[in-house]
Amino acid sequence: MIDEEIVIGADTKFPLNGILTIPEETNGLFPAVVLVHGSGPSNRDERVGNVAPFKDLAEGLSARGIAVIRYDKRTFVYGKQMRTDSGLSVREETMEDAIRAANLLRSDPRIDADKIFILGHSMGGMLAPRIDAEGGDFAGIIMMAGSPRKLEEILLDQGEDALHSLNRVLKIIAKK
């Protein structure tokens, strides 16, 4: 496998560094996958501690003849700039960049443009059908740990779980 440095949206206000992992074999065009992050700022590997699921997926898929594109999430790179944007939505945070990544793959002569898939993790999985419908034009959709629940419900539950994990003094402070 070969890792190539790429830039998603190089001609935009928010260019994002990433990696295109290409299989070493050269027997025809490669199918490809765009990896889409879950909620919150994430780097191209979606690293949490010592776990890097997007890097692992890229290496595993590439070893099986599939090209993979992964990139730093916009809020990971430009989070401070975007924090004051009251109009920020999932479109700006996630969707536009996933569509740009798919278009970058379509312009690569090594990629089979009819075999580009989206793999969304968590919130990325929830958004994958919408990304496809709004310009992704993917051959297929893979949802990894997506949820049929509304995002607002998930956020409330995650907040409650965080509160319950605090010690007694911090719970009192957090409730105030």
Distance of CA 148 to the CA centre of its chain: 18
Clarify whether residues 53 and 88 are in a common domain: yes
Q: First and final CA of the chain: distance in angstroms?
A: 53
Residue 137 belongs to what domain range?
A: 2-145
pTM equals: 0.83
Q: What is the pLDDT of residue 136?
A: 87
Clarify whether residues 17 and 98 are in a common domain: yes
Evaluate if residue 113 carries a pLDDT over 90. yes
- Average predicted confidence (pLDDT) for the chain: 88
Clarify whether residues 101 and 65 are in a common domain: yes
Confidence of residue 153 (pLDDT cuts 50, 70, 90): confident
pLDDT higher for 13 or 155? Answer: 13
Q: What DSSP string describes 57-103? A: HHHHHHHTT-EEEEE--HHHHHHHHHTT-TT--HIIIIIHHHHHHHH
Clarify whether residues 167 and 132 are in a common domain: no
Alpha helices in the chain, H assignment, sequence order: 53-63, 74-82, 90, 96-106, 123-131, 151-164, 168-175
pLDDT higher for 123 or 163? Answer: 123
